[in-house]
């Protein structure tokens, strides 16, 4: 099953990612698909399966919109372990789920998909989405184990040389155009925020040239303008086609990412940062940082800048091994 899974993944990796990406540019979509599949090989799949408890015979995965590659790693590990997978695809764009099912089925791997809210009989469910969404799914299936992955968000922290941090940070900002729980919602720094802004202006321009920003939801416009206006009054702003960088006081931190907007917040100290984030502890996910020993309560995963949306395999998700608790 592992070898068949890697063959299916190789086919998927060779496809036109732009048609599967829910609106990313073709260049960014291809890079994201490559990065999502790159860690999945015979060695890493076997290691991930060793971390799992006994897998059930069948599972359903409720796939959220946004990060189009979300179901790939979960499906690959499950079917490699002999588990049948049904994908409840996002109604707005089920392209990846449909293609994933077709590609895996060609290798005789049991993967089905549907946009129907009616989940077929399965032994367990993995539910992604907002807190209310995953609760609703669990309530609707009282006799089926449901592993919930609700709302989470991530941050970046820069404590060292801004010129060294800017390049990797821009990679984190460009991947998936800021979608998903591992995207940096803000950059906190104990250093010179203006120098970080200037350094990132160059690297964000490079990212836009190499991996252009994709389609932007019209509904994000008011929040984009609000943050720009706030920073113009209380801090600084730099804008160019495809990106923006703001500097504003940390008390105006918003725990949601906008596509290619870098929100920089200067903090007095790391203790100040921990105090600021304490109300958000239940919803924290990933920390990307240049400070190797930094710890923040609630953070489940810490990585180097540039790797926030490129986790390794095997790994934990929200603090527990993938496919555990089923």
Show pLDDT as tens, one digit a residue, over the chain (326 residues).
999 999 999 999 999 999 999 999 999 999 999 999 999 999 999 999 999 878 999 999 999 999 999 999 999 999 999 999 999 999 999 999 999 999 999 999 999 999 999 999 999 999 999 999 999 999 999 999 999 999 999 999 999 999 999 999 999 999 999 999 999 999 999 999 999 999 999 999 999 999 999 999 889 999 999 999 999 999 999 999 999 999 999 999 999 999 999 999 999 999 999 999 999 999 999 999 999 899 999 999 999 999 999 999 999 999 889 998 88
* Domains, the chain: 2-151 (3.40.605.10), 153-304 (3.40.309.10)
DSSP tally for the chain: helices H, then strands E: 10, 14
pTM: 0.95
Within 8 A by CB and 6+ apart from 91, the residues are 115
Q: Return all residues near 99 (Cβ < 8 A) that are at least 6 apart.
A: 12, 15, 20
Q: Give whole-number Cα distances, 73 to 254, 269, 299, 312, in Å.
A: 29, 37, 22, 10
- Output the pLDDT for position 321: 92
Cα–Cα dist 311/32, whole Å = 12
The answer to whether 251 and 234 have CB atoms below 8 angstroms apart is: no
Distance (Å) of CA 68 to CA 30, 32, 150, 245, 260: 11, 9, 17, 25, 17
Q: Find the angle CA(39)-CA(306)-CA(268) to the nearest 5 degrees.
A: 140
Predicted confidence at residue 52, as pLDDT, reads 86
Distance (Å, whole) CA 203 – CA 187: 15
Predicted local distance difference test score (pLDDT) of residue 53: 75
| Number of alpha carbons in the 13 Å side-chain half-sphere of residue 160 | 15
Q: Report, in angstroms and rounded to the nearest whole number, the Rg of the chain calculated over CA atoms.
A: 20
Tokens of 228: 């720009």
């Amino acid at each position: 099953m592992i070898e068949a899974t890697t063959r299916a993944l190789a086919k998927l990796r060779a496809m036109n990612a732009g048609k599967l990406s829910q609106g990313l540019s073709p260049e960014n979509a291809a890079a994201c698909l490559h990065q999502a599949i790159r860690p999945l090989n015979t060695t890493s799949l076997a290691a991930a399966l060793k971390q799992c408890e006994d897998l059930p015979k069948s599972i359903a995965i409720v796939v959220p919109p946004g990060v189009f590659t979300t179901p790939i790693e979960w499906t690959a590990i499950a079917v490699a372990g002999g588990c049948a997978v049904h994908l409840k695809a996002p109604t707005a764009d089920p392209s990846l789920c449909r293609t994933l099912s077709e590609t895996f089925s060609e290798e005789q791997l049991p993967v089905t998909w549907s946009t129907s809210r009616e989940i077929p009989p399965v032994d367990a469910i993995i539910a992604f989405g907002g807190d209310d969404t995953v609760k609703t799914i669990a309530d609707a299936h009282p006799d089926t184990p449901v592993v919930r992955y609700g709302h989470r968000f991530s941050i970046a922290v820069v404590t060292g040389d801004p010129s060294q941090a800017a390049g990797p940070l821009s990679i984190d900002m460009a991947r998936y155009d800021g979608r998903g729980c591992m995207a940096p919602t803000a950059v906190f720094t104990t250093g010179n925020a203006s120098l970080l802004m200037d350094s990132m202006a160059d690297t964000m321009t490079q990212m836009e040239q190499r991996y252009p920003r994709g389609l932007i939801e019209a509904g994000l416009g008011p929040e984009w303008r609000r943050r720009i206006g706030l920073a113009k009054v209380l801090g600084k702003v730099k804008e160019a086609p495809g990106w923006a960088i703001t500097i504003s006081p940390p008390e105006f931190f918003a725990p949601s990412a906008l596509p290619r907007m870098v929100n920089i917040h200067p903090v007095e100290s790391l203790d100040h940062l921990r105090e600021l984030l304490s109300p958000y502890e239940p919803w924290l996910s990933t920390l990307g940082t240049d400070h190797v020993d930094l710890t923040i309560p609630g953070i489940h995963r810490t990585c180097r800048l540039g790797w926030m949306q490129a986790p390794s395999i095997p790994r934990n998700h929200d603090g527990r091994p993938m496919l555990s608790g089923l």
